[in-house]
Amino acid sequence: MRLGERPLVIGVLNVTPDSFAEKMPVLVPGQPLDVAGAVGRAMAMEAAGADLIDVGGESTRPGAQPVTVDEELARVLPVIEAVCRAVRVPVSVDTYKPEVARRAVAAGAALINDISGLLYEPALAAVAAETGAALILMHTRGRSTAMYDEAVYADLLGELGDELERSLAVAAAAGVDRDRVIIDPGIGFAKRAEHSYGVLADFPALAARLDRPLMIGPSRKSFMRAATGDRPAEERDWGTAAAVTAAVLGGAHLIRLHAVPELVQVVNVAEEIRRAGLTGPPGAPR
């Protein structure tokens, strides 16, 4: 993956029965896992312009209950194996569990997306080091069941920077090459709406401080209710488009999305605006 030439789009492929954002899940209680359906979604996202497919087998929405290692493996491994055979773009696994990450990389995943920033399972860093997989470190506090209890900040960007630096230090101590690490400020995770908007408004300072590529994942998240009202997740794509535009104009390297076909257009147009801002209007002195 070449980061920095343009924002890359990550398509979300949930393999859970309780995702907050999926109207038609590929995993329905009491029914076999729809591997073919998952592959079809991945191929459609790739055709629409996704640069990476992110497969996750445990919901991390606020209040979600954790699943066992065996259950998560049963969900993600068949999908990762099949998707890696069907698409040309890299595949990542969204997990904080070392054994799931190890098995997923062996099945073809090239990146490990840890929503805990090595807070839940520091041993995950050793898996990234051993396998050579890239590592996405997201900021959060606490577990999904009580993360909003931790959403108290005196200096939002300063505290995020401090805590992500600790995550980077854990990765480095385990032997992870810093050049293989991406950071994610964790919009919606242990953050109330005002905190998520604050991150979107000023995250370039965080990226500059940490000197790492930045992933932003605002897609369909509940912080938008403060502006759009209490509408279901699948009706938040217009709000997501605004957040995506802000992220691209701020210089985000990767954007994680559910509605890839629609929002790839938003990413591309916002990127043209960003580039025009760097060069100035036609005919302007340089």
Per residue in 207-224, pLDDT tens?
Answer: 889 999 999 999 999 999
Global pTM value: 0.92
Q: How far apart are CA 254 and CA 217, in angstroms?
A: 9
**Catalytic choice (102, 103, 220, 221):** 221
- The yes-or-no answer on residue 256 being catalytic is yes
Indicate if 221 belongs to the active site.
yes
Q: What is the pLDDT of residue 166?
A: 97
How far apart CA 174 and CA 149 sit, in angstroms, is 30
What's the confidence (pLDDT) of residue 14?
92
pLDDT of residue 169: 98
Does residue 3 have a pLDDT over 70? Answer: yes
The catalytically annotated residue of 256, 274, 275, 286 is 256
Average pLDDT over residues 131-158: 93
All structural domains of the chain, each given as residue ranges with its CATH number in brackets, are 8-276 (3.20.20.20)
pLDDT band at 18 (very low <50, low <70, confident <90, very high): low
pLDDT at 24: 59
| pLDDT, averaged across the chain | 92
